[in-house]
């Protein structure tokens, strides 16, 4: 399976980087073709420009500045997001990727009557691996927006009934080494089944 990974952490020695490495190694060891997109290392610009907004609904023109990323997304059969949760959301670089690449004509279509239709039928499997600085109770209280974006919004754009794995290490700021090791094993076990 062709797996497109979007990794969004700027520091190469972070625990998120260790998760990302384990994720890539696990998928490759199972024979998957991995397109590993480290958004920071690739210098992805998350800012939606004025002109991109003007062209947003103009399919065929709207993807001009991000066409290589659109091609990578459309070539994938699975999509995995690997990121830290910051301020109850995605890092800006990942949010910007969604804003600039998940465009009308790419990930969804808008009909003349305003109707909405998903278009990423090539994505037959979806996953996310993330860390939260706060505990699960705080995330639950605040509605856990990143989980809902992945499991509801992004999942709705993919192939019908595409399985979605969401692995989260909560309370990262107070986690102990053994908890982090256990989480890496959990990542390996979950994605080793893909």
Q: What pLDDT does residue 80 have?
A: 98
Q: Which residue range(s) make up the domain with 129? A: 2-189
Q: Would 53 be classed as within a structural domain?
A: yes
Please say if the pLDDT value at position 11 is more than 90. Answer: yes
Q: Would 13 be classed as within a structural domain?
A: yes
Tell me, what CATH number does 52's domain have?
Answer: 3.40.50.360
Can you read off the two tokens belonging to residue 17? 């980087």
Q: Would 16 be classed as within a structural domain?
A: yes
Share the mean pLDDT of the chain.
96
Indicate the burial class of 174 (C-beta count within 10 angstroms; 0-12, 13-18, 19 or more).
exposed
Q: Would 90 be classed as within a structural domain?
A: yes
Q: Would 194 be classed as within a structural domain?
A: no
Q: Would 173 be classed as within a structural domain?
A: yes
pTM for this structure? 0.96
For residues 74-94, give the mean pLDDT: 97
- Range 110-117, long-range pairs (CB < 8 A, 24+ positions): 110/57
Q: Which residues contact 158 (CB under 8 A, 6 or more apart)?
A: 79, 118, 120, 121, 123, 124, 126
Q: What are phi and psi of 70, to 5 degrees?
A: -60, -45
Q: Would 162 be classed as within a structural domain?
A: yes
How sure is the predictor about 137, in pLDDT bands with cuts at 50, 70 and 90? confident
Can you read off the two tokens belonging to residue 146? 């990143």
Euclidean distance between CA atoms 39 and 84, whole angstroms: 13
Q: Would 169 be classed as within a structural domain?
A: yes
Domain count, the chain: 1
For residues 143-172, give the mean pLDDT: 96
pLDDT in tens, 17-71: 999 999 999 999 999 999 999 999 999 999 999 999 999 999 999 999 999 999 9
């Amino acid at each position: 399976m062709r797996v497109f990974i979007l990794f969004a952490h700027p520091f190469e020695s972070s625990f998120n980087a260790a998760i990302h490495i384990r994720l890539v190694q696990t998928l490759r060891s199972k024979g998957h073709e991995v397109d590993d997109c480290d958004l920071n290392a690739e210098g992805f610009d998350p800012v939606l420009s004025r002109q991109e907004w003007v062209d947003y609904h103009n399919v065929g023109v709207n993807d001009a500045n991000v066409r290589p990323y659109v091609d990578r997304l459309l070539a994938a059969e699975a999509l995995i997001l690997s990121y830290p949760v910051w301020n109850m959301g995605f890092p800006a670089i990942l949010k910007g990727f969604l804003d600039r690449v998940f465009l009308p004509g790419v990930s969804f279509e808008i009909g003349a009557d305003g109707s909405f239709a998903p278009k990423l039928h090539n994505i037959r499997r979806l996953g996310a691996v993330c860390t939260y600085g706060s505990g699960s109770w705080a995330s639950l209280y605040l509605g856990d927006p990143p989980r809902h974006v992945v499991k509801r919004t992004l999942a709705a754009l993919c192939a019908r009934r595409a399985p979605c794995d969401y692995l989260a290490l909560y309370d990262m700021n107070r986690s102990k080494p053994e908890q982090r090791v256990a989480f890496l094993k959990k990542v390996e076990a979950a994605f080793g089944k893909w």
